[in-house]
Amino acid sequence: MNNYGFIKVACGVPKVKVANPSYNTNEIYNLVKEAKKEGAKIFITPELSISSYTCADLFFQDTLLEKCEEELEKLVEKTADDDIFIVVGMPIKYKNALYNCAVAFLNGEILGVIPKEFIPTHSEFYEKRWFASGKDVSDELSLAGQEVFFGQMLFKLRKDLTVGIEVCEDLWVPIAPSAKLALSGANLILNISASNEVVSKDEYRTNLISSQSAKCLCAYAYVSAGVHESTTDLLFGGSSLIAENGIILNKGKRFERENQLTSAYIDLQKLNFQRRQNISFSDSREQYEEFYEEIECEFENDIDITEFDRFVDPHPFTPNDENQRIERCNEIFNIQSSALAKRLEHTGLKKLVVGISGGLDSTLALLVATQTMKLLNLPSENIIGITMPGFGTTDRTYTNALDLMKSLNVTIKEISIKEAATLHMKDIEHDINIHDVTYENTQARERTQVLMDMANKNGAILVGTGDLSEMALGWCTYNGDHMSMYGVNASVPKTLVSHLVRTVAMISDDKTKDILLDILDTPVSPELLPPTKDGKIAQKTEDNIGPYELHDFFLYYFIRFGAKKDKLHFLAKQAFKDKYSDETIEKWLNNFMKRFFISQFKRSCTPDAPKVGSVSLSPRGDFRMPSDADFSAWLED
């Protein structure tokens, strides 16, 4: 069974009775059964969950300590066939001292005991009254009838999964044990905690966990004691959450009065890929890596993801929340225009040339150019907008191109390429009635020649219009629309271009807004083939290469996280549900892989362009690959 690198982790907050290990362990077991039913392979409970956290001086009592060990042994036996890696918390005696410990066990075997390193004695906490620090402990001890390692350690549970454990306060110190555990190989950190609730603490705690998972390039599962702890002075809320490289995958409700389970699938392949990419992470090992005892064990069964419940965003470049989307678009627009302004300042030039087709990409480039002129206090007339009707130009796009330039008050030039393209095809002995790639590219290159020469003539910079999706698929003419003097859209995917244009439309005057909305409603096309008999666009890009939303989805997970083909198919199926059939996804995924590989030669010589997001194909920093790489292995499932 293929698990695509996913594994489900569950955080359980059991009802407890203070100093009643028998009751507490029974509730923990009920949660284990629930976690197993949900398909979890890793399950954690709060700090000192077997005894309860708020026992205070009762921790010194042999009655409590012995009962904890007795109940632990029963729990280990009862879960021997559950095939779940379980972590519970309990107090443990060792050499006349008491330690606050996490105990890990799997399939009837206690794998290790991890003592808390940092013992809080500040504000409302006074743990040093009862517990010693386990920072330098490394030994074996007898626990529940088994000889186990006692100290800091790593658990290798699968070839792609190494688990590290820290206890509560350990996370809150400047250099947390989890940082060293991560640098030593742990890609999943488990934290069993007892963090009380005060105003605003939940937000701070959430940010802390999210940040730690991001810095450590790991998944981080956290669970804290619940409301049934003693309320002599404090109230515990039962906080539980699971993060993955800065993203909160799931967060449980606080203040629940019944047993609570919070679970999420984590993506180990994604985390491991990001670690391989991040050289700074590797370099940090030299300073902070430690050599921990490694406990090797494996799950008996593969991971069942038939009930996969992790959210997979079908449009990863575009936030779902409208306010976030508008904020994202405004930020990108500012990056584009500020970058173009810098290039203009550097060259000492005052003018821009933009080819305007009436399509989305050139519209965005023109909007960016207009904003750039505002930033530099230059008149919009310094933008020379050039529309170049060809054999495939329709009345709709032609009209929109002219109307938009008029509305934005730029200098308008209209230069038909039909005569020049016809003469060129005659010169190269190409039959103008044969509408092949030569026919199409002749027009694209003629337009670029016009734009380049007009920029030279007017002392201007030619602004490129091509977007990230087109570069990924090679859907551009080499040394045609592929070339410019500065490409403002080069790292903006097609699915985001439309949102950028819409964001500008919503704050524009009514006339400009209407034009932009009609452009948004126009099918995407290079318009290099003659229109239909009724004057409509005949050449629709997505009919040829597939839906851009699928290709942008593939691009994001392929470049950002190194997903293999079978995983890309699986993720697309989850993200788009019933919108696309398996056959459709497979067809366009194969097309994406082939086109991506054979088009690298175009990306290897693209103009400068500002990076706006986490995925870019710039040959100068973000993505480098040989132009002759074979794609055969990437087409295999």
Residues 43-98: tens digit of each pLDDT: 999 999 999 999 999 999 999 999 999 999 999 999 999 999 999 999 999 999 99
Angle subtended by helix axes 322-347 and 494-505, to nearest 10: 90
Angle made by CA atoms 226, 229, 233, in degrees to the nearest 5: 115
Given the residues 8, 41, 116, 251, select the one marked as catalytic.
116
What is the spatial distance between Cα 616 and Cα 600, in angstroms, rounded to a whole number?
Answer: 13
Q: Give catalytic status of residue 413 as yes or no.
A: no
Residue 304 in domain: no
- Per the annotation, the verdict on 15 as an active-site residue is no
Domain interval for residue 615:
322-635
Report whether 216 belongs to an annotated binding site: no
Q: How would DSSP label each residue in 45-103?
A: --TTTTT-TT-GGGGG-HHHHHHHHHHHHHHHHHTTTS--EEEEEEEEEETTEEEEEEE
If asked whether residues 406 and 272 sit together in one domain, one would say no
Any binding-site annotation on 359? Answer: yes
Q: How far apart are CA 345 and CA 378, in angstroms?
A: 12
- Return the bridge partners of 138, or none: 151
Shared domain for 398 and 511, answered yes or no, is yes
Whether residue 361 is found in the same domain as residue 477: yes
Please give the mean pLDDT across all residues of the chain: 95
Within a domain: residue 181? yes
Query: Are 287 and 377 in a shared domain?
Result: no
Percent of the chain with pLDDT over 70: 100
Strands in 293-296's sheet, in edge-to-edge order, are 247-251, 240-244, 219-224, 188-193, 161-167, 153-158, 293-296
- What span, in angstroms and rounded, lies between the C-alpha atoms of 37 and 574? 21
CA-to-CA distance for 220 and 246, rounded, in angstroms? Answer: 9
Is 520 known as a binding-site position?
A: no
User: Which pLDDT tens digit goes with each residue over 553-612?
Assistant: 999 999 999 999 999 999 999 999 889 999 999 999 999 999 999 999 999 999 999 999
Residue 533, pLDDT above cutoff 90 = no
Residues 185 and 98 in one domain: yes
Residue 476 known to bind ligand:
yes
Model pLDDT, residue 531: 87
Instruction: Enter the tokens of residue 159.
Output: 């070839």
For residue 247, list its beta bridge partners.
244
Q: Taking a C-beta distance cutoff of 8 angstroms, is the pair 193, 167 a contact?
A: yes
Tokens for 56? 């205070």
Question: Residue 152 half-sphere exposure, CB side, CA atoms within 13 Å?
Answer: 23
Q: Are residues 326 and 280 in the same domain?
A: no
Q: What is the CATH number of the domain that holds 102?
A: 3.60.110.10
Catalytic residue among 168, 216, 218, 329: 168
534 confidence band (pLDDT: 50, 70, 90): confident
The whole-number pLDDT of residue 301 equals 60
Same domain, 253 and 378: no
**Model confidence over 427-475: pLDDT tens digits?**
999 999 999 999 999 999 999 999 999 999 999 999 999 999 999 999 9
Is the pLDDT reported for residue 289 higher than 80? Answer: no
How far is it, in rounded angstroms, from Cα 417 to Cα 443?
Answer: 7
Residue 602 annotated as binding site? yes
DSSP letter at 629 equals -
Residue 517 lies in a domain: yes
Residue 210 assigned ligand-binding role: no
**Cα 408 to Cα 581: distance, rounded to the nearest angstrom:** 43
Asked whether residue 218 is marked as a ligand-binding residue, the answer is no
Q: Is 84 annotated as a binding residue?
A: no
Task: Count the alpha carbons within 13 Å of 8 in the hemisphere toward its beta carbon.
Answer: 24
Same domain? For 230 and 338 the reply is no
Task: Look at residue 519 and tell me if it is in a domain.
Answer: yes
Does 327 qualify as catalytic in the annotation?
no
Q: In terms of pLDDT, which residue wins out, 305 or 293?
A: 293
The residues that bridge with 41 in the sheet, in sequence order, are none
Task: Answer whether residue 390 shows pLDDT above 80.
Answer: yes
d(CA 537, CA 520): 15
Domain count, the chain: 2
Answer whether residue 560 is part of any domain.
yes
- Check whether residue 219 and residue 366 sit in a common domain: no
Residue 282 pLDDT: 87
Which is more confident, 298 or 48? 48
Quick one: 212 and 330 in the same domain?
no
**Residue 59 resides in a domain:** yes
358 is in an annotated binding site: yes
* Same structural domain, 54 and 171: yes
Instruction: Give the tokens for residue 438.
Output: 């030569």
361 is in an annotated binding site: yes
CATH number, domain of 489, equals 3.40.50.620
Specify if 344 maps to a domain. yes
Contacts of 624 (CB under 8 A, 6+ apart): none
> Which pLDDT value is given to residue 393?
93
CA pair distance 177, 189, nearest whole angstrom: 10
Please tell me whether residues 438 and 504 are part of one structural domain.
yes
CA pair distance 523, 147, nearest whole angstrom? 70
Instruction: Give me the phi and psi of 155, to 5 degrees please.
Output: -115, 115
High-pLDDT (> 90) share of the chain, %: 91
Q: Is residue 311 part of a domain?
A: no
What is the predicted pLDDT for the residue at 1? Answer: 55
Evaluate the CA torsion angle 30, 33, 38, 44 in order and state its sign.
positive
Q: Are 500 and 333 in contact (CB under 8 A)?
A: yes
Instruction: Return the amino acid letter for 173.
Output: V
195 is in an annotated binding site: yes
Which residue is catalytic, options 15, 27, 41, 47?
47
